[in-house]
Structure 1
Amino acid sequence: MNRRPTLLAAIALTAVAALSLSACGSDDSSKKKDNDKIAGADTGDEKSPSPSESAADSAQRPKIELPSDVTHIFTPEQSDDTVKNAVLKDNAELIRALDAAIVAQNPRLPALEFYTEGEGAVAAQKWVKAFADAGWTITGKTRYFDRQVTVSSKNTASLSYCADESKAFSKVIKTDEIKKTEVTKNSYVAYGAQVEKNDEGVWELMKISSTRGADRCQP
């Protein structure tokens, strides 16, 4: 397998049953604005954060560092909807945490555990372990696009997105050999994820699924 494997493909390498990654929603009420102003207060153009924003900001998110040869592009990067924006941001951090864990060859990287729970955590750990067992890491640029969030309830949401891996590859750690392949339909992957908001306001990955070569992700 020359091209960087998807999460489910990597899990298959370790003979673990594929777990589906789908997104669960958040509550639209979280985007409610604080419109009640205190008389005489100088607020200028600043807006008071919504309850969901305050909760999310209270979480001490880990600092994720990646080598200069591993980069990501997220489109859209954010949303005008408060809840959807929070889901998009934590999804981006999850993806970065997954790649950081692969680079570190550490399935239990604290940053990865911070953004995963339940089946999502098991799937992510198996994915990272598959790279570690193969002696591979990653390199290149991955573009994540058509990122769509569907809010289901106060603490659940579903997220779908595409990945352009035409410039992302696996790399053999011992030799630094980059497993480059030509760009084909399989360079594009469709993902679906279920996420849930924990008590700290973090949208954790609960389940995920992937389809390499999906028609909806083709350029």
Structure 2
Amino acid sequence: MNRPARLVAVALTVSTALLLTACGSGGGDDSSSDKIKGADAGGEKASASASASAPAGQDAAGRPKITLSREFQANFEGWTNSDPKLQAILNDGREELRSEYAAVIEADLNSSAVAFYNSDATLATAHKWIKQFVDDDESLIGSVRAFDPQVHINDTGSGVLFYCVDERKASTKNRRTAKITTTADKPENVIQYRNRLDKNPQGVWKTTSSTVVPGACG
């Protein structure tokens, strides 16, 4: 997937200022409210992998059904939490990532699912990320592993979701030539996402800021 060279550079253009503004409106040193603490993880680190299908109970909010190609798998490990509010953030955060993978695979620059899970602040960057693949006539094959999700709700009511994605078993495949480009087995291809999400009136946790840090997951 060559993400560190080509894709992370795009993702990093999302302003980190949006993430930092979720730290609270009061005075003093409240910057920790958007940082994941070990204790905040609670019971979400279940050993079983979460289902790759869309979470149940989505119809009321109109959540789109997202389907990935048989050639590409996104495996989510430990994406469960005993707190329903935190589980809702995990569910919508997971579907946001899956929507972008699906858009790349379908070469869909105007994916309604990507727009559904992203705010105006992050949609333009998501579009750039997808456009790189579409312009190069590439799809995704192989698999990624999304793991170690850490989630909490900060002082302003925003959701903060950190998680890791191991892309070392994923590749790109040219639609025209069928040429496959594999992802290097390097630490920087295990990426940490640091997202902020805000709940809209329909109850959907939309991603409102996103920062990616290659190699941060160790």
TM value normalised by structure 2: 0.75
Quick one: which amino acid aligns to residue 175 of structure 2?
A: I
Q: Tell me the matched-pair count.
A: 182
CA contact (8 A) 1:64 1:111 kept: yes
- Tell me the equivalent position of 2:147: 145
- Tell me the equivalent position of 2:167: 165
Paired residue for 1:65, among 64, 67, 71? 67
- Tell me the equivalent position of 1:120: 122
Deviating beyond 6 angstroms after TM superposition, the runs of 4 or more aligned structure 1 residues are none
Quick one: which amino acid aligns to residue 209 of structure 1?
A: T
Structure 1 segments unaligned to the other structure (5+ residues): 26-54
Paired residue for 1:111, among 110, 113, 119? 113
* CA deviation after TM superposition for structure 1 residue 120, in Å: 1.2
Rounded to whole Å, the distance in 1 between the matches of 2:67 and 2:158 is: 28
CA contact (8 A) 2:14 2:122 kept: no
Deviations 1:125-157 (A, max 9, x none): 111112112222211111011101120157411
Structure 1 residue matching 2:168: 3-state secondary structure = strand
In the alignment, structure 1 residue 75 sits paired with structure 2 residue 77 = yes
- Tell me the equivalent position of 2:30: none
Structure 1 residue matching 2:180: 3-state secondary structure = coil
Say which one has the larger Rg: 1
CA contact (8 A) 1:76 1:147 kept: yes
Identity fraction in percent: 31
The alignment's C-alpha RMSD in Å is 2.5
> Structure 1 residues 7 and 90, CA, compared in 2 at 3 Å: closer, same or farther?
farther
Structure 2 segments unaligned to the other structure (5+ residues): 24-56
Structure 2 residue matching 1:130: 3-state secondary structure = helix
In the alignment, structure 1 residue 9 sits paired with structure 2 residue 3 = no
CA contact (8 A) 1:11 1:123 kept: yes
Matches within 5 A, 1:1-219: 3-5=2-4, 7-10=7-10, 17-20=13-16, 22=19, 58-153=60-155, 155-214=157-216, 217-218=217-218
